[in-house]
């Protein structure tokens, strides 16, 4: 009788019918290889061992990573794809998406996500989850992050207080002029505004990935136009020129290589324009060393396809089993244990809880950013940081606030549209060169737009701008007709 019971138990376990035991007993584990862009971690192997324990239990899969540096990821990624290296899941920046699709580097995920990615769709919404498509080819799923576009001015609070600036009165670019005038009278040698894209930092256009042919009015217009000929661009570039001539903008703004934060930290800068998101000032104050205040400028929050799909996760055509790769992605986007392991490491060794509620984490005692053995800290890039612990310094509800920030934004009428640029690839290279020649000087007020803006536009059209506009318009019209 005991032998019979033992045999029955073995049979039940093999069939995976007892809770807590694997249902994959008869199937060899599939090995997932994922490339990521980030720094090497001394204890990556220890963390991978913990991840493998989890993925074997949940998916019957083993897991490994290929580390790519920010400086050479694009070259290495293309060599792996072209060479047929073992690779399942890879990062895809939007600037590479069209060429990756054209070159056959990626698997179309349109059917795969419907069959094996229902958790992703449920957590992100179908329009977001499936928005990374070119002509119906779903090349990738966006990393879950703050994506809305809302920009404003970041100012030193001590100067704001000293000159009794009414921050709530700041609504438009023009509202900054009397503020700059007042501070300049008392601080004549201070740089009141720094940055290389003062004119376009506040996004009032859906730039549709490259800025060569845009939709005006926050993407509410559906006629593709040249941004550099719009009334809004002309209004801003003339105003910024006035500021430059009045001495409000740093003289070498167009050529400096210093970040805005470092310039403010040095002590002779009042403000810079920046995208603003919930809890934005926490990091900025750490970086600059100053207490700061912000005000939104041209306050409309917009959501564009390129901002949502700035960074996506795709399946390589090299993958031996794309369905398994999609199953793993669905797991990665929905399993908080995996997200915490890969981003922060092992609890108690690489991080500890910073509060009794166990909602915020920090380094263990004696560990910091200089001597940690594992702290990948690339949540913006990883599949779904919204299900991982926030790091100390953030509010415990930061991810909920990010999600609300995205949900409240106005969607461009081209939201979900990504144009296929291979037909104008040569023109885009030429246009980028022209932009490099003119854009910084115009958008810092360093040159007179009355003469230089016309030269800029002439050079753009000579480089093929109209062809790009026409190509975008044709593809957009075809896409809109399906909606």
Strand 61-68 versus strand 30-37 pairing type: parallel
The predicted model gives 152-176 an average pLDDT of 96
Residue 181's Cα: distance from chain center in Å? Answer: 35
The predicted model gives 12-19 an average pLDDT of 39
**pLDDT, position 24:** 53
The predicted model gives 18-23 an average pLDDT of 43
Closest by Cα among 92, 119, 121, 95 to 106:
92
Helix (H, G, I), strand (E, B) or coil at 461: helix
Helix (H, G, I), strand (E, B) or coil at 387: helix
Q: How far is 172 from 297, CA to CA, in rounded Å?
A: 5
Helix (H, G, I), strand (E, B) or coil at 201: coil
pLDDT at 5 over 60: no
The predicted model gives 96-110 an average pLDDT of 93
Q: How far is 381 from 464, CA to CA, in rounded Å?
A: 34
pLDDT digits (tens, 9 = 90+) for 384-400: 999 999 999 888 999 99
pLDDT digits (tens, 9 = 90+) for 188-234: 999 999 999 899 999 899 999 899 999 999 999 999 999 999 999 99
Q: How sure is the predictor about 300, in pLDDT bands with cuts at 50, 70 and 90?
A: confident
For residue 421, CA distances in Å to 144, 212, 380 come to 25, 11, 26
**pLDDT, position 148:** 86
**pLDDT, position 72:** 85
For residue 248, CA distances in Å to 154, 261, 325, 479 come to 15, 17, 53, 45
For residue 75, CA distances in Å to 57, 142, 364 come to 35, 21, 37
| Average pLDDT over the chain, rounded to an integer | 91
pLDDT at 10 over 80: no
**pLDDT, position 278:** 85
Strand 311-315 versus strand 89-93 pairing type: antiparallel
pLDDT digits (tens, 9 = 90+) for 400-447: 999 998 988 999 999 999 999 989 999 999 999 999 999 999 999 999
Domains of the chain: 17-145+302-417 (3.40.190.10)
Q: How far is 470 from 472, CA to CA, in rounded Å?
A: 5
pLDDT digits (tens, 9 = 90+) for 68-94: 988 888 889 989 999 999 999 999 998
pLDDT at 298 over 90: no
Contact 214, 414 (CB under 8 A): no
**pLDDT, position 277:** 86
Vertex 184 angle, CA 181 and 190, to 5°:
140
* pLDDT > 90: percent of the chain: 79
Q: How sure is the predictor about 383, in pLDDT bands with cuts at 50, 70 and 90?
A: very high
Q: Which residues of 84-111 are buried (b: 16+ CB within 10 A; e: fewer)?
A: eeebbbbbbbbebbbebbeeebbbbbee
Q: How far is 193 from 201, CA to CA, in rounded Å?
A: 13
How many residues would you count in the chain? 483
pLDDT digits (tens, 9 = 90+) for 234-270: 999 999 999 999 999 999 999 988 999 999 999 999 9
**pLDDT, position 241:** 98
Helix (H, G, I), strand (E, B) or coil at 92: strand
pLDDT at 3 over 80: no
pLDDT at 9 over 50: no
Q: How sure is the predictor about 25, in pLDDT bands with cuts at 50, 70 and 90?
A: low
**pLDDT, position 8:** 34
């Amino acid at each position: 009788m005991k032998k019979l019971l033992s045999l029955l138990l073995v049979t039940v376990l093999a069939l995976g019918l007892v809770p807590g035991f694997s249902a994959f007993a008869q199937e060899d584990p599939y090995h997932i290889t994922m490339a990521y862009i980030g720094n090497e971690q001394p204890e990556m192997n220890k963390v991978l061992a913990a991840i493998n324990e989890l993925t074997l239990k949940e998916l019957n899969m083993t897991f490994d990573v290929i580390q790519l540096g920010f400086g050479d990821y694009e070259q290495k990624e293309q060599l792996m794809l072209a060479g047929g290296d073992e690779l399942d899941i890879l990062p895809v920046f939007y600037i590479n998406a069209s060429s990756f699709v054209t070159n056959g580097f990626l698997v179309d995920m349109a059917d795969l996500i419907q069959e094996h990615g229902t958790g992703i769709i449920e957590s992100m919404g179908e329009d977001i989850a499936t928005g990374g498509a070119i002509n119906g080819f779903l090349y990738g799923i966006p990393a879950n992050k703050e994506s809305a576009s809302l920009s404003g001015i970041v100012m030193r609070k001590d100067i704001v207080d000293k000159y009794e600036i009414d921050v709530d009165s700041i609504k438009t670019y023009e509202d900054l002029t009397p503020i700059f005038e007042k501070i300049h009278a008392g601080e004549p040698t201070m740089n009141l505004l720094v940055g290389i894209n003062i004119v376009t930092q506040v996004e009032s256009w859906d730039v549709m990935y490259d800025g060569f042919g845009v939709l005006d009015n926050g993407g509410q217009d559906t006629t593709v136009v040249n941004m550099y000929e719009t009334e809004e661009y002309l209004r801003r570039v003339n105003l910024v020129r006035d500021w430059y001539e009045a001495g409000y903008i740093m003289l070498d703004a167009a050529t400096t290589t210093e970040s805005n934060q470092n310039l403010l930290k040095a002590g002779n800068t009042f403000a810079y324009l920046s995208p603003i998101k919930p809890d934005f000032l926490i990091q900025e104050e750490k970086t600059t060393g100053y207490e700061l205040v912000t005000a939104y400028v041209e306050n409309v929050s917009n959501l564009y396809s390129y901002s949502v799909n700035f960074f996506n996760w795709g399946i390589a055509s090299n993958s031996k089993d794309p369905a398994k790769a999609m199953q793993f992605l669905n797991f990665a986007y929905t399993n908080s244990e995996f997200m915490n392991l890969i981003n922060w490491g092992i609890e108690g060794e690489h991080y500890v809880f910073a509060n009794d509620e166990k909602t915020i984490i920090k380094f263990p005692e004696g560990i910091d950013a200089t001597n940690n053995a594992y702290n990948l800290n690339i949540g913006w890039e990883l599949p779904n940081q919204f299900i991982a612990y926030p790091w100390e310094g953030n509010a415990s509800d930061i991810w909920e606030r990010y999600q609300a920030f995205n949900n409240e934004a106005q969607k461009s009428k081209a939201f979900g549209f990504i144009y296929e640029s291979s037909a104008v690839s040569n023109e885009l290279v030429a246009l980028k060169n022209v932009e490099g020649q003119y854009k910084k000087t115009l958008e810092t007020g360093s040159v007179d737009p009355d003469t230089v803006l016309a030269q800029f536009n002439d050079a753009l059209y000579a480089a093929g701008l109209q062809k790009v506009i026409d190509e975008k318009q044709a593809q957009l019209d075809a896409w809109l007709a399906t909606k």
